[in-house]
A and B are shown apart, each in its own frame.
Chain A
Amino acid sequence: MTSRDTIFTRLGRYGYFAVGGAIFFALLFAFVFVRGGYLLTVMQLAMIYGVFCIGLNFFMGYTGQASFGQNAFAALGGYGTAVLCVQFGWEPVFALIASMAIAGIASVIVGYPTLRLRGHYLAMATFALGLITYDISVQWTSVTQGYMGYSGIPPLGIGPFTIEDERMKLVCLMVILLFGLWVSGRLRNSRFGRALRAISTSELGAAALGINVARYKLAAFVIAALYASASGSLFAHVVGFISPEVFGLQMVVVTFTMLYVGGVGTVLGPAVGAIIASLLPEIVRSTGRFQDIAYALALIVMLIYVPKGLSALGGLGRSRVAEPGAGS
């Protein structure tokens, strides 16, 4: 009848949840911004992990494939940036883009044979990729400086304009994350994204519809690698230090926890999950070791009891009929 009516039906109960969430996160950012200090660092890391999770979501959420080795590409991004900036004196922005290109090429080379595998084999092969990269980053000391790690990586910036202020860094990361989300959202509802989701529902069905399953899977894998590489580079630039441990098994578990907290297969889920899963440990003020334990426990509990994540809460008001494949 009226425009108010259409807005109401559009939003629905789900919409109120979304609006409430948006207001909550806006207030949260305002608070972090005013408060400053350590919380800024926490939020910066949340943004960086968010970028990683968006990529992971492409491969796991949209396409329904399992990769336990995306940390390999984050390591590639981080070390690529570090080496290009520190050894060769590149501009951070170009180093970031170059590292993404390297990760993209690497993901094609690695993904082309690997993605023919399915199930446990794909899972173990990708897991192996992460472990190989970790070992190389420890052993290849002439390039990676081994366990000591790389320090003195310059902050982001172009030419004389560098972003040194912690608040500006956060804003910059936020813009990057929002851009990542925008790309992810646009792609999800494009022809490409629908093809990916068709694959996650049924590979045979997708193939019958004329979707080149292998090529689309590879494309999703490459996109995930690009996001991972970008997040690795961002970590290097923002923190200024990287070591093999940054990109180890912890990263796999932490990022999967975030993805599950936020909701696998949703557009906003990765970002929401990254922020919540980063802030919660800070509220209980736990240190590194206990934090890893908390993440592992949280992930196990989530996997058992709420495998759809917080996004399922938004759907509470909607019909209880289960959706096939990855939830929307």
Chain B
Amino acid sequence: MPSAIELIQSLVNGVGIGLVYGLIAIGFCVIYNASGIVNFAQGVFVMLGGMFAYSFLVGMKLPLALAAAISIALVAVVGVLVQIAVIRPMWKRKAPMFAIILATLAVQLLIEQIVILTLGDQPRTYPEFTSGGPLKIGQVAIGYQLFWVLGCGALMVGLLTLFFNKTRVGRALRACSQNREAAALLGIPVGSMLVLSFALSAALGAAAGILITPMQYTSYSIDGPFGVSGFIAAIIGGFGSAPAALAGGILLGVVQSAAIVVFGAGYKNVIALTVLLIVLLFFPKGLFGGLAKRA
């Protein structure tokens, strides 16, 4: 049996990775609520965020804040391109749900292969944002990066909440999520809102990827596991609000980290997916209340 210290340490690590899952989950929710589409390629944004940040930070030696900002902007552009080139034409032709899911999967494979060709297939990482550490509390070590994740995560969730509640555009997005026809009748440009939701969601994913890379690594193949973990977090949270998605992410992260201590690191995705199946089967509406609407 693992010792208490090990378990507490894994809890701390779990909160860090869980926050990142939560951010990805919010990305899923933003698109889903605006369009009813589940973008299976969400993990691609996380991967691209990390890969771009690595290229700018290590390859071109740009300062961190600049590298992060450019990466997030670029990934948002990728998100917009995916929406305009793939999702919008299918949307207009009223393609069935699984065809759109399939298309997003194809987008994921496409971007993965392009990344291998252009940026290589080696795992990458870069140093933590603040050197030094880890902070020691008793025998439990807390890396400084965790505080960055916590701080940035809280900041983003706060900004998003403000955006959705206080700004015109944010309210228009929420109107779309409630009833697209009615929103269109009120003069809200629903098409542009969908583009915006993809940009926002891609930016969130990229931020998550930039934050997590120093704690782990990034490579072309991390998108699948991260995308699925984010989706699981969104399901646990019930696809409703940003805080619920974040809570779902933290719960998943903690369970996963505890499971790593017990079963070994290789099976962390297997465990996350098993959590997904359990939640889907026994709590189909999420742990924190019902869905806004059925899929």
Q: Which residues of A contact B284 (CB under 8 A)?
A: 117, 121
Interface centre among B116, B224, B273 (most CB of A within 10 A): B273
* Cα A252 to Cα B99 with chains together (Å): 13
Interface string of B39-50 (1 = CB under 8 A from A): 010000000000
Q: Which residues of A contact B90 (CB under 8 A)?
A: 303-304
Q: Which residues of A contact B98 (CB under 8 A)?
A: 60, 66, 123
Interface positions of A from 86 to 112, Cβ below 8 Å from B: none
Contact at A135–B280, with CB atoms within 8 Å?
no
Q: Which residues of A contact B109 (CB under 8 A)?
A: 249-250, 253, 292, 295-296
Contact at A118–B295, with CB atoms within 8 Å?
yes
Q: Determine how close the nearest CB of chain A comes to the CB of B262; give it in whole angstroms.
A: 15
Interface positions of A from 302 to 325, Cβ below 8 Å from B: 303-304, 307
Q: Determine how close the nearest CB of chain A comes to the CB of B173; give it in whole angstroms.
A: 20
Known contacts being A120-B295, A123-B101, is A300 close to B113, with CB within 8 Å?
A: no
The residue from B97, B110, B280, B294 contacting A296, defined by CB atoms under 8 A apart: B110
Contact at B93–A132, with CB atoms within 8 Å?
no
* Cα A230 to Cα B235 with chains together (Å): 34
The residue from A114, A124, A129 contacting B38, defined by CB atoms under 8 A apart: A124
The residue from B102, B107, B113 contacting A292, defined by CB atoms under 8 A apart: B113
Interface SS of B by simple majority: helix
Known contacts being A118-B295, A304-B89, is A256 close to B267, with CB within 8 Å?
A: no
Contact at A307–B108, with CB atoms within 8 Å?
no
- The answer to the question of A28 belonging to the interface, with a C-beta cut-off of 8 Å to chain B, is no
- The answer to the question of B276 belonging to the interface, with a C-beta cut-off of 8 Å to chain A, is yes
Interface string of A113-138 (1 = CB under 8 A from B): 11011111101110111011001101
Interface centre among B107, B235, B267, B277 (most CB of A within 10 A): B277
Known contacts being A128-B276, A256-B102, is A296 close to B113, with CB within 8 Å?
A: yes
Contact at B274–A132, with CB atoms within 8 Å?
yes
| Number of A residues, CB within 8 Å of B | 39
- The answer to the question of A139 belonging to the interface, with a C-beta cut-off of 8 Å to chain B, is yes
Q: Which residues of B contact A300 (CB under 8 A)?
A: 86, 103, 106-107, 110
Look across to chain B and name the residue whose beta carbon is closest to the beta carbon of A256: B102
The residue from B99, B117, B231, B280 contacting A117, defined by CB atoms under 8 A apart: B280
- The answer to the question of B225 belonging to the interface, with a C-beta cut-off of 8 Å to chain A, is yes
Contact at A304–B95, with CB atoms within 8 Å?
yes
Q: Which residues of A contact B95 (CB under 8 A)?
A: 303-304, 307
Q: Which residues of A contact B225 (CB under 8 A)?
A: 131
Q: Which residues of B contact A54 (CB under 8 A)?
A: none
| Number of B residues, CB within 8 Å of A | 42
Interface string of B223-234 (1 = CB under 8 A from A): 011001001000
Contact at B273–A304, with CB atoms within 8 Å?
no
Interface centre among B106, B273, B284, B294 (most CB of A within 10 A): B106
- The answer to the question of B60 belonging to the interface, with a C-beta cut-off of 8 Å to chain A, is no
* Cα A125 to Cα B105 with chains together (Å): 14
* Cα A77 to Cα B236 with chains together (Å): 32
Contact at B270–A289, with CB atoms within 8 Å?
no
* Cα A136 to Cα B86 with chains together (Å): 32
- The answer to the question of A227 belonging to the interface, with a C-beta cut-off of 8 Å to chain B, is no
* Cα A121 to Cα B93 with chains together (Å): 23
* Cα A66 to Cα B38 with chains together (Å): 14
Look across to chain A and name the residue whose beta carbon is closest to the beta carbon of B93: A304
Interface string of B120-152 (1 = CB under 8 A from A): 000000000000000000000000000000000
Contact at A303–B99, with CB atoms within 8 Å?
yes
Q: Determine how close the nearest CB of chain A comes to the CB of B46; give it in whole angstroms.
A: 15
Contact at A253–B105, with CB atoms within 8 Å?
yes
- The answer to the question of A47 belonging to the interface, with a C-beta cut-off of 8 Å to chain B, is no
- The answer to the question of B281 belonging to the interface, with a C-beta cut-off of 8 Å to chain A, is yes
Contact at B295–A121, with CB atoms within 8 Å?
yes
Known contacts being A116-B281, A124-B276, A292-B113, is A131 close to B107, with CB within 8 Å?
A: no
Contact at A131–B102, with CB atoms within 8 Å?
no
- The answer to the question of B63 belonging to the interface, with a C-beta cut-off of 8 Å to chain A, is no
Q: Which residues of B contact A214 (CB under 8 A)?
A: none
Contact at A132–B105, with CB atoms within 8 Å?
no
Q: Which 10 A-B pairs have the closest CB atoms?
A: A66-B98, A119-B295, A296-B110, A139-B266, A120-B295, A128-B273, A296-B106, A299-B106, A120-B38, A296-B109
A125-B280, A132-B270, A299-B106 known, 16 other contacts, Cβ within 8 Å: A66-B102, A117-B284, A118-B295, A119-B295, A121-B295, A125-B277, A128-B228, A131-B273, A132-B273, A135-B267, A256-B105, A292-B113, A293-B113, A300-B86, A300-B110, A303-B103
